Every structure is written in structure tokens, then in C-alpha cells.
A and B are shown apart, each in its own frame.
Chain A
């Protein structure tokens, strides 16, 4: 990896972060603009969860990881605290991979 590439990667990644912060800070938003920003995180996070759960390299895949996330979801619906959810999801996935 060249240092030029590394500099470009670092600058690009930070630009998204600081760009979002500065843009939102300078906007005077009312009504639906504020709603949109409030709904942005749930929408994007939900997309991230789906991708992390089902994306097996550009293909929808059901795997040991999917099983782990599913049991984690069951633990969540039973109001388990976050550490328990993480543990249940990891343990299920690890055990399924052993099979």
C-alpha cells in the first residue's frame, strides 16, 4: 500500500464524518427535515443488520452467523441485557460452526 493511498483513505473516511457533522450543524431544519434526520439512523442501521446477517459475499446466505443473530433476536425479545444478547449470538454461531 502506498502512503498516498493511505492518506486518501484517511482523508476520505474523515470527510464523510466531519462533512455530516458540519452539514447538520449548519442546517436550519423544521418539520419533515428534522423527521428525516431522526429516521436516518434506524433506516441505515437496519440495512446494516440485514447486510451483516445475510450477505455472504454478494449473495443472500443463511449461515451459522444467521442462526446466531436469530437467537440473539429471541434473547432481545425476552428483554435480555446487551451482554447476554452478544453472548447468546456468539455462542450459537460458534457451536453451529463446530457441527
Chain B
């Protein structure tokens, strides 16, 4: 057993996926604490993490509710942020399992972390494994964190004090960078980044990340003309 466990952890993408889940878990605690203080019941906070399972949308919904916003604005703000998962899902069709039931489960695990980890791997087998390990690890720790936040409050302290909010963009950058060797992916990422940068001051949260998809449109067009 010890030997098998050692063999399992010998692969870098497995360790990385587990670690990302752990980091996300600290924000799960924050989500639980914040929800309860915003007047969302503990049960509802736990259900949100289980069923929505996409952090930015959950924080946005609770934020709107806590400031007395109406349900439609909460829904709109949350779904705008959730739409990028649809873009990930579109591009992950090869990584998805073939069975119908397992596809329904896998779909729920499509989030920033699992997509970035799958994207960063060199072959399909490792992409699939990285997707499942990261997705399940994030799912486990995000929900455990929410439960802890709801029941016992902020025991891990504020993740912002630990600077953990910088870990995600830095980690995504580390996962994306190896791809930038491919000229077209480099174009897609570069244009996407510029579009997001320009639109952040102009448009509501959610739109800049969605519009970054334009980078893929332009890169495809350039490729076709070449």
C-alpha cells in the first residue's frame, strides 16, 4: 500500500493537482464564513458549493444578495462569471470520458484549475488524469472548506493575509506558459490577454474573460490565411 501510494505521488501532475485543490480549499473556508455573515444559511452555502461549484460565481451571488440586490442581478452576475466554464467545456471534448454517466459527472468538474492542468499536459492520457485528479481534489477541498467555514468560521485565517489570491493567476500562468511555444496558441493568449486588459475598466465583471475568447477567433483566422 505504501509502495503503491508512493508510486501514485511520483508523478508531478498528480501532486500539482492535489496541491491546487488544497489552495482552493482555503478560499472555500472564506466562502463559508462570508456567506453566513451575509445572511445566507449554512445549508445554502454548502449546497451552493456542491451544486454550483464555481468559486467566482458563488462569491458574486453572495455579494449581490448581501448588498440587498434583487435575485435577477445575483443570477446575472453569477452566470456571467460561470460562462467561461462553457468555453472550457467546448475545448475539452477530447479530455472528457466517453460514458454518458461519467460525462455528466466530469462536466461538473470543469473549472479554471482542472482545465488549466489538463491543458498543460503533454499527452491525452496525462491530460485526462490531470483533469480528474485536479477536479476531484478541488471539489473535495472546496466543499470541505465551505463546511468548515460555515461550522467553525475562519480557522485557517484570511487567505488574503497569506497572499494566496496571487497563487491562482501565478499558477495559471505557469501552466499556460509551456503552450506559448506554439505560435497560434501564443497569438490566442496574447490577444485574449490584451482584450481582457482593455475591457476591465469598461465592462462588468465576467465580460472581460469571456471576450478574451476573441483571441481564439483571431488566431484561427490568421492561421487560415497563412
Residues of A within 8 A of B (CB): 1-6, 8-10, 12-14, 16-21, 23-25, 27, 31-32, 35-55, 58-60, 64-65, 68-69, 71-73, 75-77, 80-83, 85-86, 88-97
- Among A37, A47, A58, A69, residue most surrounded by chain B Cβ atoms (within 10 Å): A47
Task: Decide: A17 near B173, CB < 8 A? Known: A36-B217, A39-B215.
Answer: no
Contact indicator B163/A47 (Cβ below 8 Å): no
**In the complex, B214 has a CB within 8 A of chain A:** yes
Q: How far is the CA of A32 from the CA of B116 in the complex (A)?
A: 22
Contact indicator A48/B167 (Cβ below 8 Å): no
Q: How far is the CA of A73 from the CA of B65 in the complex (A)?
A: 36
Q: How far is the CA of A13 from the CA of B75 in the complex (A)?
A: 10
Contact indicator A73/B96 (Cβ below 8 Å): no
Residues of B within 8 A of A (CB): 12, 15-16, 19-20, 23, 39-41, 44, 47-48, 51-54, 57, 61-62, 65, 71, 74-75, 78-79, 82-93, 96, 103-104, 106-108, 110, 112, 115-116, 119, 160-177, 179-180, 184-193, 195-197, 200-201, 204-205, 208-217, 219-220, 223-224
* In the complex, number of A-B residue pairs with CB atoms less than 8 Å apart: 314
